[in-house]
Structure 1
Amino acid sequence: MGDADFRFGQYVLDVDRRRLDHGGHRVDIEPQALELLCHLVEHRGRVVTEEELRDRIGHEHAVTETALATWMSMARIAIGDSEVRQQLIRSVPPHGYRFVGHTTPAATRPTDRTGGPTLPAVTAEMGADHEVIRFCRSADGTRIAYALAGQGPPLVKTANWLTHLHLDRTNPMWAHWFEGLTHGRQLVRYDERGCGLSSWEMGRFTIDDLVADLHAVVEAAGLDRFPLLGVSQGGAVAVAYAARHPERVSHLILTSAYARGQQIRAGSDDERDAAEVDLNIARAGWRSQDSSFLRYFASQFLADATPAQWDAFAAYQRETTSAANGLRFIEEFSRIDVSGIADQVSCPTLIVHSRDDARVPVAQALELATLIPDSRLILLEGRNHLLTADDAAWPAFLTHLRTFLSE
């Protein structure tokens, strides 16, 4: 045993081998987050500045504040801590952190109890709200973060633009979704590859990969049959999954969804020109982070919001992923197409769409309703692509959702 083995609670951290164990099982954690944790534990007698952590993690490469915050969240979750609890890693204003957990020398180097491969998931309680965040691996090895919250029969929500399991709980953009969807049910949600607490190393990024990510979450959560909710581009993933796994999906709910991305559904020169202009504006915004471009982009998601809300939405997006990943999301989602397999969906399907959706035209909802055999379409008054808490359509959406699921 070396001097670099530390035990705190049920955790053992081997700094030399860069390994974290919980109860004898290896914890799967992003390398940068593990590096951060090791540095904090090694220097537990003092406050470590953000600048020092960025230098340690970056190894002469620039590390943004957003990336550091994400890896700090990952490190906390891996050891059962959170930004609210701060029982082990404490934020020290204005720009520092300190490991405050009691450590003792580990008696032996950690080994897996089973003697087999290390477990691909770790559970972390997120304070008094009783949400559990776990990690699993998709078919190609990509690490996917997923969360379980609430009690009752399951409701699985596919990932969509853009999410962060830890931030969404309190973000005004998504907090009401969490509250509404956990009413009488256990909500299963996850971060897409490339954003949030999932791996930011995206690798491949096709509809097959996105369906595989969803399947990995479903398998890890131990679900056999469940209703599936797809929002925005998450609707296309939900359609593809329901078509390929009819035995698993009992009900399909699609809101603000589409079968074909903007580049694919453009049928005339004018539509193709408009799609290219829209894509170029989004590209310019993500590359330059210019507020005027980002406001335009945000206004398509939240047509009835204020400029301040658009700015808040843009800031939130910057927290969920890197600029390079954001750009890749935009380009790939514009080319998504599940129109050829939508007619293979065999479960009852509810399609809900804002009549004047500024991001995805209502014609896409009509197309889905035409393609999916056992479907019904509900049009809500409004222009918002993502329903807000004060949107008049929000309670109507929840009512339709709960009525549909009770059938």
Structure 2
Amino acid sequence: MVHERVERRLAAILAADVAGYSRLMGDDEEGTLAGLKAHRRELVDHKLKSHRGRLIKTTGDGMLVEFSSAVEAVQCAVEVQREMVGRNANIPPDRRIEFRVGINVGDIIEDEGDIFGDGVNVAARLEGMAMRGGICISRQVLDQIDGKLKLPFRELGRQNLKNIARPIEVYAIDLDNDGSPAARVLSAANLKQVIRYCRATDGVRLAYAKVGSGPGLLRSAHWLGHLEYDWDLPLYRDFLLGLASSFTLVRYDARGNGLSDWDVGELSLDAWVKDMESVADAAGLDRFPLLGFSQGCAISIAFAVRHPERVSHLILYGGFAVGANKNPNLSAVDRERFAAMKTLMRLGWGADEPTFRQLFTSSMLPNATREQIDAFNELQRLSASAESAVRYLETVANFDVRPLLGQIKAPTLVMHVRDDRRVPISSGRDMAAEIPGARFVSLPGQNHMLLAQDPGTPVFLEEVRNFLL
């Protein structure tokens, strides 16, 4: 038998697509197609030619391009993204065509004009991690352009990309000359964030950050968070700024999430409590107030019972003591909704999927603006993989810390939004009723996450300050 020799070569691969393409097409098919063709004809094609990029194929809103040099690939992407800002300047935000770009260096195989291999697959996954108008690159690309291109980068951590056997170190290129959006937000508030890393007891790398001044306050991690993007998007920003104005706020990304390692073995309540221990130790926190947020309330409760000498005050917001799988009062309809949500997560995590948004985003943010809804979808896509999100949901569904509530020694403040669509206020009330001496405060509103426009946001911040200061 004669085997045809397979030719491999090293190349820089650029993958790009249009953020929110399905929604744009649904709103205005003809206008979107005409706009995309104009951008390609008037901008993209010229940039590819000037940087000697070889267009391999286009697929609707996407394209795959091969470059002989990582420097040329990055320069091309940067020039396109910067010029797209000007081309979109007079277009309403919800009608803008914005590219996401991923660039990798790796071995490729060519067959009948197309290219294949892990080098291509990684570039495609990096594209999926990029923000609107953004660029994500692998460590291999960074190594090749280091010292040749003066561009600021943000480390996004080692990511476990779908169908890629090994974790990939990912970096985002900051296209603004005055730094990342997060840096600008913090600078305007005279704040600076410092991100560091520590190791969990099982070796998982955890990212944590400090911002602000004053007494230390540790906020629990949760499954939709990212130490950098939390500041970029109009979701947690005002909530975090309010806390950092009075405290040295210590935050961290949970295992499998954000800047922490995505490729992790164990996900459990015990592992998350141990991670909180590791972060508190690394951040130099001895005795401190602890803020549990949503699913982080159960973790904070377990930590407070395990370490009563370390928790001076306990604040629990939007939380629950028992998960869906352990809750005997959960209706059959709610159980069906829970099962459907897991299926949609696997199929459409972070995508512009109307059904997915109805089941998840609308339950979290029923009164959010269009910009905030889009930002929430973006945060989902950037903060965790579909596999991690489903594992998170299943693990949280098995929480049950009710036996621990009566053992809490720290002064406790429990707060919950009155008409929370995601976690009913009865969960907060039941939790507070079992904690000795706990004070319960109901906040006006419907959103599970406190947004800038919510009437409960200033009340929350004032209650925290009065409780701790």
TM-score by length of 1: 0.72
Match of 1:206 in 2: 268
**Kept after mapping to 2: 8 A contact 1:285/1:294:** no
Decide which of 283, 297, 300 is 2:342's aligned counterpart: 283
The residue matched to 1:177 in structure 2 has which SS? helix
Match of 1:316 in 2: 379
1:232 aligns with 2:286: no
1:15-54 equivalent positions in 2, closer than 5 A: 46-48=72-74, 52-53=103-104
**Kept after mapping to 1: 8 A contact 2:419/2:445:** yes
Decide which of 459, 462, 467 is 1:396's aligned counterpart: 459
Match of 1:101 in 2: none
Unaligned segments of structure 1, at least 5 residues: 1-42, 80-85, 91-95, 99-124
**Kept after mapping to 2: 8 A contact 1:346/1:374:** no
Higher Rg of the two aligned structures: 2
**Do the aligned partners of residues 296 and 44 (structure 1) sit closer, same or farther apart at CA in structure 2, a change above 3 Å counting?**
closer
Q: Deviations over 1:45-74 (max 9, x none)?
A: 544365541757945645422446799599
Give the total of aligned pairs: 324
1:176-325 equivalent positions in 2, closer than 5 A: 176-267=238-329, 271-289=330-348, 290-306=353-369, 309-325=372-388
**Kept after mapping to 2: 8 A contact 1:349/1:374:** yes
The residue matched to 1:164 in structure 2 has which SS? coil
Which amino acid letter does the alignment assign opposite residue 304 of structure 1? N
TM-fit CA distance, 1:305: 2.3
TM-fit CA distance, 1:344: 1.3
TM-fit CA distance, 1:334: 1.6
TM-fit CA distance, 1:256: 0.4
The residue matched to 1:228 in structure 2 has which SS? strand
**Do the aligned partners of residues 240 and 308 (structure 1) sit closer, same or farther apart at CA in structure 2, a change above 3 Å counting?**
same
Q: How far apart in 2 are the matches of 1:312 and 1:54?
A: 30
Q: How far apart in 1 are the matches of 2:389 and 2:236?
A: 19
**Do the aligned partners of residues 66 and 52 (structure 1) sit closer, same or farther apart at CA in structure 2, a change above 3 Å counting?**
closer
**Kept after mapping to 2: 8 A contact 1:300/1:359:** yes
Q: Deviations over 1:162-215 (max 9, x none)?
A: 101011112111111220111121000001111110011131011000001111
Percent of residue pairs identical:
37
**Do the aligned partners of residues 272 and 221 (structure 1) sit closer, same or farther apart at CA in structure 2, a change above 3 Å counting?**
same
Match of 1:380 in 2: 443
Q: Deviations over 1:95-141 (max 9, x none)?
A: x969xxxxxxxxxxxxxxxxxxxxxxxxxx96854210001111111
The residue matched to 2:325 in structure 1 has which SS? helix
RMSD: 3.0
The residue matched to 1:187 in structure 2 has which SS? strand
1:347 aligns with 2:410: yes
**Kept after mapping to 1: 8 A contact 2:208/2:252:** yes
**Kept after mapping to 1: 8 A contact 2:103/2:136:** no
Q: How far apart in 1 are the matches of 2:130 and 2:425?
A: 39
**Kept after mapping to 2: 8 A contact 1:236/1:259:** yes
TM-fit CA distance, 1:247: 0.5
The residue matched to 1:310 in structure 2 has which SS? helix
**Kept after mapping to 2: 8 A contact 1:295/1:310:** no
Unaligned segments of structure 2, at least 5 residues: 1-68, 78-100, 108-116, 144-149, 155-171, 175-181
Match of 1:326 in 2: 389
Match of 2:194 in 1: 132
The residue matched to 1:188 in structure 2 has which SS? strand
**Kept after mapping to 2: 8 A contact 1:295/1:307:** no
Q: How far apart in 2 are the matches of 1:134 and 1:72?
A: 21
- Higher mean C-alpha deviation, range 162-171 or range 280-289: 280-289
Which amino acid letter does the alignment assign opposite residue 459 of structure 2? A
- Higher mean C-alpha deviation, range 206-215 or range 293-302: 293-302
Decide which of 165, 180, 183 is 2:227's aligned counterpart: 165
**Do the aligned partners of residues 306 and 343 (structure 1) sit closer, same or farther apart at CA in structure 2, a change above 3 Å counting?**
same
Q: Deviations over 1:232-291 (max 9, x none)?
A: 001111111001000000000001011111221233xxx342332121231232122133
**Kept after mapping to 2: 8 A contact 1:353/1:379:** yes
The residue matched to 1:340 in structure 2 has which SS? helix
Match of 1:19 in 2: none
**Kept after mapping to 1: 8 A contact 2:209/2:252:** yes
**Kept after mapping to 2: 8 A contact 1:282/1:294:** no
**Do the aligned partners of residues 67 and 58 (structure 1) sit closer, same or farther apart at CA in structure 2, a change above 3 Å counting?**
farther
Q: How far apart in 2 are the matches of 1:308 and 1:331?
A: 29
Which amino acid letter does the alignment assign opposite residue 362 of structure 1? I
The residue matched to 1:135 in structure 2 has which SS? strand
TM-score by length of 2: 0.63
**Kept after mapping to 2: 8 A contact 1:356/1:381:** yes
Q: How far apart in 1 are the matches of 2:106 and 2:437?
A: 56
Which amino acid letter does the alignment assign opposite residue 218 of structure 2? V
Which amino acid letter does the alignment assign opposite residue 373 of structure 2? W
Which amino acid letter does the alignment assign opposite residue 257 of structure 1? G
**Kept after mapping to 1: 8 A contact 2:102/2:135:** no
